[in-house]
Amino acid sequence: MIGAESFAPYVFLLAFASSFLLWSKRPVLAASTRVLLVVLLTLAVAYGASNGAWYRGYVGVAALIANALFVAFAGIDFLAWQKRRLAGDER
């Protein structure tokens, strides 16, 4: 089993990556994708905090669906950002 001390680097990386994606000066993600990221993080925290609760399974499934949607939307936003950057129209 994994100890609590081994989770610290992963929690730091998740927090750093999330803050970079949410509040960077030159946003890669659209506003709707940022909102989805906030929803995903909220679901992840709710899943972690609901140990033994009757709704934990529902929150887990919702987090998985939100994660799949976020990955798809982030990929679309990244490709659009790359096209804008290559065209010289970066904001």
Radius of gyration (C-alpha) of the chain in whole angstroms: 16
The phi, psi pair for 29, rounded to 5°, reads -95, 145
Q: What is the pLDDT of residues 4-53, one digit of tens each?
A: 666 667 777 777 788 888 887 777 888 899 999 999 999 988 988 888 89
Q: Is it the case that residue 1 has pLDDT exceeding 50?
A: no
Is residue 68 within 8 Å of residue 40, measured between CB atoms? no
Q: Would you state the pLDDT for residue 16?
A: 78
